[in-house]
C-alpha cells in the first residue's frame, strides 16, 4: 500500500478571534454562544476560530471544576461542538477542562472535520495573586504544535507565554504561529505587561503571535479583552476593543519562511482612570445580570462614594434599573439632601426619601435598659448605619434588587465602616478604589461618557458633592478627617502598606510621619475582621481585598517600625503582644 501524500501546507489562513463573555458554569449557554460566534466567523470567511482559555467552563471555574458532573458536562459539550465541525465550516480552538488518565488539565482542543483533532494541556499553572490553578489542575507536558491545513500551530495557554520554555519548545518542534488562549483579568497597566511578555516570546522564537483574551465580569475579576496580534517583527497587526465582545477574522499569509498578519482593526484601549471606570461598569453589570437581579438599590447619601456608585450603576444597567433612596436622620445636612436629589435628577433614576428616625429611636428605646447610665458613643452612631442597612436589605428582599455597597478602599483598609450597616450589600463597584481615586473618577465621569454607557452625558455628579469635605454624618458637624488623616496622606500610606507590603521603616524613610504610619498600620491589621465580611467588588489595582490579599484575622504580629534585623539576631522569648479589640 502506498503512503498517503502529505497535506500541502496552506499559504493563507483566516483566523477569527472570538473575544467572548462566558458565564462560569453555564456549559450549555457557553457552547451555544460559541456556535453563534462560529457562524459569524463563517460569514466572515474564517478557517479557524480561537476562543479564550477554559471558555466552555468559564474562567476562573475555581473548585467547581473538581465536580465530576461538571467535567463530564464540559467534555460532552466539546465533543458535540467537534461533531458539528463536520459541516465544512470553520474549525474551533476552544478552551476546556479535560480529564485524562485520572488527571485534570486546563486544555486547548482543536475541533476540526467532525472530531477532536488535537489536545494540548497548559504547562505553567499560575499560583499567585488571584490565581490558584495548581490547586485544581495538573501541569501538562511541553507542547509541540498542532497541524491544521498543513500549518503547524503553537497553542500555549495564557501563563505559558509568561516564561520562555513552552514557546521555545513549540518553535523547536516546527511551530509556525503562536495562538495564545487567555483568561487574563484587568488591572491597571496590564496591557503594557501583556505586550512586555509577548514581545520576548516573539524575539526568542521568531514566530508571530495571536493573543485571544476573555471579556466580562466574574465575581471580583473583570476581563477586559483587548485581544491583539503581533507579527514576527513585533509590529501590532490588530487590536480588539476593551470591555466588549467581538468576533473578528484576521488574515494571515505565508511570506517566505514565516507568516504575517495583514493589518486588521485597531481599537484604542482605554488607559488610567478611563480603564478603571470601564472595569467598574462591566464588573457591576455582569454581577447583576449573571446572577439574575432585576436591578439595584443603593443609599444615596449626598456623598461622593454613593454618587459615583450611582453613576456606575446607571452606566452599567440603565436608569430604569437603578433605585436610589436617601435615608436621612437628624445629622443629615441640607447640603446632603439637596446634593442627593440633584444627583438622582441628573442620572434620571428613581429616588425616594425614607427617614430613619423611627427605626433609630426604636432601637435606642429597646436598648435603653441595657445601656442605662452609660454615655453615648460610637455604638449609637452605628445604630444609624445599621438602620439604613436593614432598610435597604428589606427593599432588596421585597423587589429583588441587589443592594450596591458604596464603601471605598480607604475606608475598608482602616475599618472606617459599620458591620451590618453601610457594609451591607451584594456587590461593591468601588471596593478597590482609594478615596482619592473615587474623586478622580467622579471628575472624569462629569467630563466624559464611555461609549457603551447607558447613562446620560454631562455633569452627573453635582460639583458640591466633589468639593464638600467628606463626612459620615453620624454626629453633629462630623468630618472624616476628625478620625482619619487627610486622604492625600492616608492613601499613599495605604498603597505602600497594601499593594507594596512595605515595612513601616521604609514608609517613614520616604517622608511620612512615623506616628501616623504606625497608627494606620495598626488600623489596617485590626480591620481584617470586617473585610472578611465585606461584599465582593471589582478588582482594578495590583492587590485587592479578597482573592489577592489573604491575611489571618487572628494575628498578633505588628511591624515594630524599625529597620529589619540581620538574619543572625538571637532569638528571645518575650511577652505576647497585647490583644487589641476589634472595632465593630
Give catalytic residues, as residue numbers: 53, 122, 158
Beta strand spans in 391-458 (E):
401-403
Kindly tell me the burial class for residue 335, based on how many C-beta atoms sit within 10 Å of its own C-beta (0-12, 13-18, 19 or more): middle
Give me the DSSP letters along 450-516. Answer: -TT--S-SS--S-HHHHHSPP---SSTT--GGGTS--HHHHHHHHHHHHTS---HHHHHHTT--HHH
> Cell triple for residue 545?
481585598
Determine the Cα–Cα distance for residues 179 and 202; give it in Å rounded to an integer.
12
Give the single-character DSSP code of 534: S
C-alpha cell of 241?
476593543
| Residue 48 bridge partners (DSSP) | 15, 91
Give the dihedral of Cα atoms 505, 511, 515, 517; nearest 10 deg.
-70
Compute the distance between CA of residue 104 and CA of residue 119 in angstroms, rounded to an integer. 13
Of the candidates 63, 67, 33, 27, the residue with the CA atom closest to the CA atom of residue 49: 33
Q: What is the DSSP string of 177-216?
A: EEEEEE--B--TTHHHHHHHHHHHHHHHH---EEEEE-EE
Cβ contact 356:328 at 8 Å: yes
CA dist 140 and 310 (Å) reads 46
Amino acid at each position: 500500500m502506498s503512503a498517503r501524500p502529505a497535506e500541502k501546507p496552506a499559504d493563507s489562513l483566516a483566523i477569527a478571534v472570538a473575544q467572548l463573555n462566558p458565564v462560569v458554569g453555564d456549559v450549555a449557554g457557553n457552547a451555544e454562544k460559541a456556535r453563534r460566534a462560529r457562524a459569524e466567523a463563517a460569514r466572515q470567511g474564517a478557517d479557524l476560530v480561537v476562543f479564550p482559555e477554559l471558555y466552555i467552563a468559564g474562567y476562573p471555574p475555581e473548585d467547581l471544576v473538581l465536580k465530576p458532573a461538571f467535567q463530564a458536562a464540559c467534555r460532552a459539550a466539546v465533543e458535540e461542538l467537534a461533531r458539528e465541525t463536520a459541516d465544512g465550516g470553520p474549525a474551533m480552538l476552544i478552551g476546556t477542562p479535560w480529564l485524562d488518565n485520572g488527571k485534570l488539565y486546563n486544555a486547548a482542543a482543536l475541533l476540526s472535520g467532525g472530531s477532536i483533532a488535537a489536545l494540548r494541556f497548559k504547562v505553567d499553572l499560575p499560583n499567585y495573586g488571584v490565581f490558584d490553578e495548581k490547586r485544581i489542575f495538573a501541569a501538562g507536558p511541553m507542547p509541540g504544535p498542532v497541524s491544521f491545513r498543513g500549518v503547524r500551530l503553537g497553542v500555549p495557554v495564557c501563563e505559558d507565554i509568561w516564561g520562555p520554555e513552552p514557546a521555545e519548545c513549540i518553535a523547536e518542534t516546527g511551530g509556525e504561529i503562536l495562538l495564545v488562549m487567555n483568561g487574563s483579568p484587568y488591572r491597571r497597566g496590564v496591557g503594557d505587561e501583556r505586550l512586555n511578555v509577548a514581545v520576548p516570546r516573539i524575539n526568542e522564537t521568531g514566530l508571530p503571535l495571536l493573543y485571544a483574551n476573555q471579556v466580562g465580569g466574574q465575581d471580583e475579576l473583570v476581563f477586559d479583552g483587548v485581544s491583539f496580534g503581533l507579527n514576527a517583527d513585533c509590529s501590532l497587526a490588530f487590536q480588539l476593543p476593551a470591555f466588549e465582545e467581538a468576533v473578528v477574522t484576521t488574515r494571515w499569509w505565508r511570506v517566505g519562511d514565516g507568516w504575517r498578519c495583514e493589518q486588521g482593526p485597531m481599537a484604542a484601549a482605554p488607559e488610567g482612570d478611563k480603564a478603571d471606570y470601564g472595569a467598574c461598569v462591566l464588573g457591576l453589570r455582569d454581577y447583576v445580570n449573571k446572577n439574575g437581579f432585576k436591578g439595584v438599590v443603593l443609599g444615596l447619601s449626598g456623598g461622593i462614594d454613593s454618587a459615583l456608585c450611582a453613576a456606575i450603576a446607571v452606566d452599567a444597567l440603565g436608569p430604569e434599573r437603578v433605585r436610589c433612596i436617601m435615608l436621612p436622620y437628624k445629622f443629615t445636612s441640607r447640603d446632603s439632601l439637596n446634593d442627593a436629589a440633584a444627583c438622582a435628577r441628573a442620572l434620571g433614576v428613581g429616588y425616594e426619601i425614607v427617614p430613619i428616625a423611627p427605626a433609630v429611636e426604636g432601637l435606642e428605646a429597646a436598648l435603653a435598659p441595657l445601656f442605662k447610665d452609660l454615655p453615648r458613643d460610637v455604638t449609637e452612631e452605628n445604630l444609624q448605619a445599621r438602620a439604613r442597612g436593614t432598610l435597604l436589605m428589606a427593599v432588596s428582599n421585597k423587589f429583588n434588587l441587589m443592594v450596591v455597597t458604596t464603601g471605598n478602599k480607604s475606608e475598608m483598609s482602616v475599618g472606617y465602616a459599620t458591620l451590618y450597616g453601610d457594609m451591607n450589600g451584594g456587590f461593591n463597584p468601588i471596593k478597590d478604589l482609594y478615596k482619592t481615586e473615587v474623586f478622580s473618577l467622579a471628575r472624569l465621569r462629569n467630563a466624559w461618557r464611555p461609549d457603551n454607557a447607558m447613562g446620560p452625558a454631562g455633569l452627573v455628579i453635582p460639583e458640591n458633592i466633589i468639593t464638600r469635605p467628606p463626612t459620615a454624618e453620624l454626629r453633629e458637624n462630623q468630618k472624616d478627617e476628625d478620625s482619619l488623616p487627610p486622604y492625600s496622606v492616608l492613601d499613599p500610606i495605604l498603597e505602600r502598606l497594601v499593594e507594596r507590603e512595605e515595612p513601616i521603616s521604609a514608609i517613614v524613610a520616604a517622608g511620612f510621619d512615623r506616628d501616623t504610619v504606625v497608627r494606620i498600620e495598626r488600623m489596617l491589621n485590626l480591620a481584617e475582621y470586617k473585610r472578611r465580611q465585606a461584599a465582593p467588588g471589582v478588582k482594578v489595582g495590583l492587590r485587592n481585598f479578597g482573592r489577592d490579599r489573604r491575611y489571618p484575622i487572628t494575628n498578633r504580629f505588628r511591624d515594630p517600625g524599625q529597620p529589619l534585623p540581620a538574619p543572625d539576631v538571637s532569638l528571645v522569648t518575650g511577652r505576647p503582644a497585647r490583644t487589641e479589640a476589634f472595632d465593630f
